[in-house]
Amino acid sequence: MSDANDTGEALSERDQAVLTLERRWWASAGAKDHAIRDELGMSTTQYYQVLSSLLDSPAALAFDPTLVARLGRMREARRLRSTSAVSVSNAR
């Protein structure tokens, strides 16, 4: 989904805007959803697909290493919780 590839190509303006929006703090999920639609002109589903692909992008890591590393850790923690929950349910 991302315009940047794994060869270190620079991020597109859209990808930079997604990371910049994600960096902001939100009072509510609804406010973030409105900003995604109003500022980026995309659905929340599209936004999170682009954001997810950016977490694997060296260009995104170079653009905002702190944000990309934090989101990557959060994604890995969710994956581990999900895997753990499946393992527990299969053990029953």
What's the confidence (pLDDT) of residue 89? Answer: 64
Spatial separation of the C-alpha atoms in residues 85 and 87, rounded to whole Å:
5
The owner of tokens 């590393």 is 69
The identity of residue 76, as a single letter, is: E
Q: Give the confidence band of 91 by pLDDT, cuts at 50, 70, 90.
A: low
pTM of the model: 0.78
Mean model confidence pLDDT for the chain: 88
pLDDT (tens digit, 9 = 90+) per residue, 39-84?
999 999 999 999 999 999 999 999 999 999 999 999 999 989 888 7
pLDDT exceeds cutoff 50 at 4: no
